[in-house]
Amino acid sequence: MWVGDIVRSARDVLQDNDAATYRYSDDSMIRAINMAVFDLRRARPDYFIGTYATPIRFATMLEEDVPLPDELFPSFVKYVAGWCEMRDDEYTADGRAVALTKMFYSDIGAI
């Protein structure tokens, strides 16, 4: 799972595809990916069997690999899009941002 692929797919969900006027920087979206890894590790430590004692490696560039199964790709896209929208949605209790975040937890079997 490549960081850049997650970011590009999340931009599609967010309708944030005009490179000249991105609403969300690559850095903020990469931070969201790192937060998704933390949340996955907290909710589903079984994805980290054999590596739980090792510190989490932070992604810093679009060209990096996220060392997790590819089937988590759609879940990460939802998390990143939801995390980005949380900043913009003044009605997060009813908004799409919360729905996307809940879908992440549902996808990984945490709820």
pLDDT digits (tens, 9 = 90+) for 23-35: 999 999 999 999 9
Neighbour tally for 109: CB within 10 Å: 9
- Please state the rounded mean pLDDT for residues 36-44: 95
Q: Residue 64 and residue 79: Cα distance in Å, rounded? A: 18
pLDDT at res. 77 = 98
- Please state the rounded mean pLDDT for residues 48-63: 87
pLDDT digits (tens, 9 = 90+) for 67-81: 899 999 999 999 999
pTM, two decimals, is 0.90
Per-residue burial over 1-32, b if 16 or more Cβ lie within 10 Å, else e, is: bebebbbebbbebbebeeeeeeebeeeebbbb
